[in-house]
Amino acid sequence: MAKQRVTIVEMGLRDGLQNETVTLTPSVRLELIQKLVNSGIRRIEIGAFVSPKWVPQMAGSGELVRSALRLQKEKRISRNIEFSALVPNEKGMIMAMETGIREIAVFASASESFSKKNINCNIDESFARFEPVIALAIKNKIKIRGYLSACFGCPFEGKISEAKVVKLARRLRDLGCYEISIGDTIGVATPNQVESLFKKIKKVVPAKKIAAHFHDTRGQALANILAAYYLGVRTFDASVGGLGGCPYAPGAAGNVSTEDVVYMFQGMGVETGISLDHLVAMNPWLTEKIQHPLATKAGRVGKLIPSGRI
Amino acid sequence: MAKQRVTIVEMGLRDGLQNETVTLTPSVRLELIQKLVNSGIRRIEIGAFVSPKWVPQMAGSGELVRSALRLQKEKRISRNIEFSALVPNEKGMIMAMETGIREIAVFASASESFSKKNINCNIDESFARFEPVIALAIKNKIKIRGYLSACFGCPFEGKISEAKVVKLARRLRDLGCYEISIGDTIGVATPNQVESLFKKIKKVVPAKKIAAHFHDTRGQALANILAAYYLGVRTFDASVGGLGGCPYAPGAAGNVSTEDVVYMFQGMGVETGISLDHLVAMNPWLTEKIQHPLATKAGRVGKLIPSGRI
């Protein structure tokens, strides 16, 4: 049997940093991108074209995208690396296009209340906002990734209907998203729920177009990734260091840590293309920049170390 | 189909506390036991009859066992609660018997080097030490649990042969252990390795006599528990709060957190008999006693809370 392979989509610079209290300058973020690329990561969401008034951590995303693309042009970063950025509306899309980026991401929520709280509009309105973004992307041959958040639960509505999630996933596919990232934004899912929902989504979106996006709020993320992997999903969103999930803060809601995901798949003999040693080596640098111990576990200890008593 | 059920064996008071820097008095530990019992936990390893010179955190284990058993006698703790204690040798066994405890645990390692480093003897010598312990236990109708540590890897020897683990598991079974706890003491296993090893162990020890004991050093514990569950294992060792694994310390090697395990199984519709709400409610008390934020995730946030941005 051919070796299995998974793709990690690195979220640290966007979903990670936007939930950190410290704001990193575009030049530190560029350094982070270079370290990630050196570790073998090939897909990176660089930032978001949102108002710095609302999300100061994403300020300078345009400058950062330009710098990264320039490094690719100068062959200091491989052309194989795929960069993307989150775009909430037409204004953001125009800014994104000015940078020359070749992939953008749009986002919707599976919960009406979560949508309203997060992006201040209901689900249909959020899709209406996509329309000009997607039209511009298609016209300019820019790839479109779609996020669907709160797919397993919402702090305001509780459990979300699977049928609703499936319907919205299909809607994102029909709009032209080449990949749909199914998010457990508040980290409430357990493996059986992942199995149940992803089975249904696979009927309308092929597994190769599905990404799984788990937050580790209740420690379930890796078990959920395993459940999704068993169902044929091969693309997983993760944040280096578990950025966005501070081990001090109650309610920390970070993405699953890239290192923990890489460790699991490497142990399972599944190719990730990523060097865990590289990620472990960059941990002290990242910890210093973020100014608190990172949530990652495998990223702190690496492959094999002595331990305490039995 | 009848509802599935799993049993959690609470390790916090022994495997947890022995790896914490702070030492809790027997009376605080008794308070902890009462809180655990109130949450619905029914099997608790209370302590260890080891020298307080080597493991000061376990000092007063005899006093603690006596107090817990007295509370049972007075019906202030249900008689259904099963308490056990770790016993390393004949001297410890005599001390254990003096308390009236009805279950003890012996431990061996699957790695020669790990055995030497941890208990200062090779594997055969450790089995020789059991002999009088087990003879006394059988004579006095005391249940015997067997631990096998470093089953997936050892910091000194690397990977451990599956055949060796299987042989030692059988040896513990033959000696009279009613349950054998297969430990990933340094937290290196990944789910496929769990699947492979447990399949082989099941050929010599029935699944109902196997417990899975995972440390979360590399964030893999819950995914590994899921893999073991899929193979029919129904008993899992876990530590409340993830005791023994400090989120600050590099190389933290705590047991998987009881709360995260309970959260997963409850989400999966599997009966644990344990109230997550109770465990969440005791988290601030335990954090104060341990003097650092606990490693548990579900134990800090509980079932459903608002989160950050998508």
> What does the pLDDT look like over A247-261, one tens digit per residue?
555 555 689 999 999
B141: left (phi over 0), alpha (psi -120 to 50) or beta: left
Spell out which residues of chain A touch residue B301, defining contact as CB-CB under 8 Å: 217-218, 250-252
| Per-position DSSP letters for B256-268, written without gaps between them | PBHHHHHHHHHHT
Q: What is the percent of chain B where pLDDT is above 70?
A: 95
Beta bridge partners of A83: A44
At B50, the amino acid letter reads V
Q: Produce one character per residue of B55-64: b if its CB has 16 or more CB atoms within 10 Å, e if not.
A: bebbbbbbbb
Asked whether B242 and B257 are in contact (CB, 8 A), the reply is yes
Has the ipTM of the complex gone over 0.85? yes
Average pLDDT, chain A: 93
How far is it, in rounded angstroms, from Cα B98 to Cα B66? 9
Other Cβ atoms closer than 10 A to B257: 31
φ/ψ (deg, to 5) at A253: -130, 40
E strand or H helix that includes residue B46 = strand B43-48
Q: What is the mean pLDDT of residues B248-273?
A: 87
φ/ψ (deg, to 5) at A99: -85, -20
Q: What is the mean pLDDT of residues B239-244?
A: 95
Q: Check residue A249 and give its pLDDT.
A: 55
CA angle B87, B92, B94 (to 5 degrees): 120
User: Which positions 5-24 of B are in contact with A (Cβ < 8 Å)?
Assistant: 15, 18-19
Q: Token pair for residue A93?
A: 């899309």
Asked whether B142 and B103 are in contact (CB, 8 A), the reply is yes
Q: Check residue B307 and give its pLDDT.
A: 44
**Is B227's pLDDT higher than 70?**
yes
Which CATH number do you get for residue A66? Answer: 3.20.20.70
Instruction: Let me know if residue A36 belongs to a domain.
Output: yes
The answer to whether B307 contacts A268, with C-beta atoms less than 8 Å apart, is: no
Q: Whole-angstrom distance between the N-terminal and C-terminal Cα of chain A?
A: 38
What residue of A is the nearest CA neighbor of B157? Answer: A304
Instruction: Let me know if residue B119 belongs to a domain.
Output: yes
Q: Which residues contact B127 (CB under 8 A, 6 or more apart)?
A: B108, B171, B175
**Helix, strand or coil, per DSSP, at residue A273:** coil
Average pLDDT, chain B: 93
Q: Check residue A254 and give its pLDDT.
A: 87
- Put simply, whether B255 touches A (Cβ < 8 Å) is no
Number of domains in chain A: 1
Q: Tokens 């009805």 label which residue?
A: B102
- Put simply, whether A208 touches B (Cβ < 8 Å) is no
How far is it, in rounded angstroms, from Cα B152 to Cα B186? 8
Q: Check residue B259 and give its pLDDT.
A: 97
Polymer length of chain B: 310
Diameter of chain A measured on Cα atoms: 62
Q: Check residue A304 and give its pLDDT.
A: 67
Instruction: Let me know if residue B26 belongs to a domain.
Output: yes
How far is it, in rounded angstroms, from Cα B7 to Cα B43? 8
- Per-residue pLDDT tens digits for A228-237: 999 999 999 9
The answer to whether B251 contacts A304, with C-beta atoms less than 8 Å apart, is: no
**Helix, strand or coil, per DSSP, at residue B67:** helix
Q: Which residues contact B4 (CB under 8 A, 6 or more apart)?
A: B234, B269, B270, B271
Instruction: Let me know if residue B309 belongs to a domain.
Output: no
Q: Check residue B310 and give its pLDDT.
A: 36
In the residue annotation, A121 being an active-site residue is answered as: no
Beta bridge partners of A103: A143
Q: Among A52-56, A65-69, B237-241, B270-274, where is mean pLDDT lowest? A: A52-56
φ/ψ (deg, to 5) at B9: -105, 115
How far is it, in rounded angstroms, from Cα B260 to Cα B264? 6
Local confidence band at B2 (pLDDT 50, 70, 90 cut-offs)? confident
**Is A120's pLDDT higher than 90?**
no
How far is it, in rounded angstroms, from Cα A11 to Cα A236? 10
Instruction: Let me know if residue A95 belongs to a domain.
Output: yes
Q: Check residue B234 and give its pLDDT.
A: 98
Q: Check residue A11 and give its pLDDT.
A: 98
Q: What is the mean pLDDT of residues B277-281?
A: 96
Q: Check residue B308 and give its pLDDT.
A: 40
- Put simply, whether B220 touches A (Cβ < 8 Å) is yes
Q: Check residue A252 and give its pLDDT.
A: 56
Local confidence band at B309 (pLDDT 50, 70, 90 cut-offs)? very low
Residue of A107, A155, A222 with shortest CB distance to B220: A222
Q: What is the percent of chain A where pLDDT is above 70?
A: 95
Q: What is the percent of chain A where pLDDT is above 90?
A: 85
Q: What is the mean pLDDT of residues B176-196?
A: 96
Asked whether A103 and A69 are in contact (CB, 8 A), the reply is no
Q: What is the mean pLDDT of residues B48-61?
A: 94
Angle between helices B26-39 and B61-73 (to 10 degrees): 40
Domain that holds residue A226: 7-301
Local confidence band at B11 (pLDDT 50, 70, 90 cut-offs)? very high
Asked whether A242 and A257 are in contact (CB, 8 A), the reply is yes
The answer to whether A219 contacts B260, with C-beta atoms less than 8 Å apart, is: yes
How far is it, in rounded angstroms, from Cα A26 to Cα A289? 13
Eight-state DSSP code of residue A120: S
Q: Check residue A247 and give its pLDDT.
A: 56
Q: Check residue A308 and give its pLDDT.
A: 40
Q: Token pair for residue A195?
A: 């199995």
- Per-residue pLDDT tens digits for A184-210: 999 999 999 999 999 999 999 999 999
A220 or B250: which carries more pLDDT confidence? A220
**Helix, strand or coil, per DSSP, at residue A252:** coil
CA-closest candidate to residue A231, choices A6, A25, A8: A6
How far is it, in rounded angstroms, from Cα A286 to Cα A294? 8
**Is A310's pLDDT higher than 90?**
no
Q: Check residue A20 and give its pLDDT.
A: 92
What residue of A is the nearest CA neighbor of B150? Answer: A310
How far is it, in rounded angstroms, from Cα B246 to Cα B217? 10
Q: What is the mean pLDDT of residues A99-108?
A: 97
**Is A42's pLDDT higher than 60?**
yes
Q: Check residue A229 and give its pLDDT.
A: 98
Substitution target from A213, A297, A303 for chain B, most B beta carbons within 10 A: A297
Q: What is the mean pLDDT of residues B146-173?
A: 95
Residue of A187, A297, A305 with shortest CB distance to B219: A297
Q: Check residue B306 and give its pLDDT.
A: 45
CA angle B8, B298, B198 (to 5 degrees): 40
The answer to whether A307 contacts B109, with C-beta atoms less than 8 Å apart, is: no
Q: What is the percent of chain B where pLDDT is above 90?
A: 85
Instruction: Let me know if residue A2 belongs to a domain.
Output: no
Instruction: Let me know if residue B167 belongs to a domain.
Output: yes
The answer to whether B267 contacts A190, with C-beta atoms less than 8 Å apart, is: yes
Q: Check residue B1 and give its pLDDT.
A: 62
- Put simply, whether A257 touches B (Cβ < 8 Å) is yes
CA distance B286 to chain A (A): 15
Asked whether A117 and B308 are in contact (CB, 8 A), the reply is no
**Is B36's pLDDT higher than 50?**
yes
Point out the residues of B that are catalytic.
246
